[in-house]
Structure 1
């Protein structure tokens, strides 16, 4: 009973986090590597061709393959086109 109650409480929290994250879609024909710096931690994220990732729920800086560094708050919708970020 307690496990079910805990699951009911956690599901809305996880959904809220995903809804606030930036949605990044790679429209290029090849995978791209994005450098994400969030809370002082630097991570390289590979986004396959045609794939989407939800990142930066609490804000971050994203460096694109063409070297642009973009500040994100979370909630943005971004396409990677020819190595550049297009924010919608």
Structure 2
């Protein structure tokens, strides 16, 4: 379960910077399509981010209907599933 995480360098070409939220959400979406579920802790550890950042991304993806939030992560939304509010 490995996604290549593209990183950018800072203005001086030094340390890699974590991906921006939109890019992270694309990567999360790819993981959901490939594996069916993602873990907040796993993504945070692999990408060097806080669990809060990943949780915010998952919450935004869920609001867009692209996944369903579960405790500790998210699962892929079924193609015919409708969001209930």
TM-score for the superposition, normalised by structure 2: 0.28
Higher helix proportion:
2
TM-score for the superposition, normalised by structure 1: 0.27
Bigger relative contact order, structure 1 or 2 (CA pairs below 8 A, ≥6 apart): 1
In our comparison, the structure showing a higher alpha carbon Rg is: 1
Higher strand proportion:
1
